[in-house]
Amino acid sequence: MKELIPIIYKDEQPTVSARELYAFLGLQERYSKWFERMVEYGFNQSVDYTPYQTVHPQNMQPMEDHQLTIDMAKELCMIQRTEKGKQARQYFLSIEKAWNDPTTLMARALKVADQKILRLSEQIEEYKPKVLFADAVEASDTAILVGELAKLIKQNGVDIGQNRLFEWMRGNGYLIRRSGADYNMPTQYSMELGLFEIKERAITNPDGSARITKTAKVTGKGQQYFINKFLGGSMPTAHSTTA
């Protein structure tokens, strides 16, 4: 059918300008009064119509218009009880029929799918360097200090330093938080996951006695584990323990 009134596609749904419909119907009543009276038939803003500002084509002054759903437009046409109203209603019925045609539905579905695939491809490209970095870390046999891990996480876009990372690991059950010789050592939970290893070092004191120091280091698997957690969102919540 020939286009009688321009159709607007808002949020992938067909809509029509109330002023365009008003002009087609050839109504004499002032637009604002007419529309106010039409709304009294039970139409709801943001459901059946949406107000917006446009510009008068002659004096270029701002004026209010309304985007109508096709259902509301059809009902307004029926209310007018005129030949023009009947003609416009038939026109909207044809628009609705075409919109719900299986071929049209499939075309819209394919368009939505293409858009989702495009967004997913963009996300993959965005995270690809980080994914490759994390995979390389997992393959590494080199364990690093927590402070060095904090630097790696920061290089990947999360603003965190050594002290905050230690605090987060204690608060989330990865490091022991109770005072004593085991403070900042990995919890049993962390060790079972293979996130840390403990390096022991013998130090000879000036008096000839010896003492053993322990240092917690993050394994390659642990580096990937923590980096992925932080890339998924700053300061994630993890397993907790009373250690």
Q: For the segment 81-119, what is each residue's pLDDT rounded down to a tens digit?
A: 999 999 999 999 988 888 777 766 566 566 656 667 777
Q: What is the pTM of this model?
A: 0.44
The Cα–Cα gap between 175 and 189 comes to 9
**Contact in structure between 218 and 128 (CB atoms under 8 Å):** no
Is 74 in contact with 91 (CB distance < 8 Å)? Answer: no
CA 208 – CA 82 distance, rounded (Å): 110
Give the relative orientation of helices 18-25 and 70-80 as an angle to the nearest 10 degrees: 30
Positions of the chain with pLDDT lower than 70, given as ranges = 1-2, 10-12, 103-115, 120-141, 208, 232-243
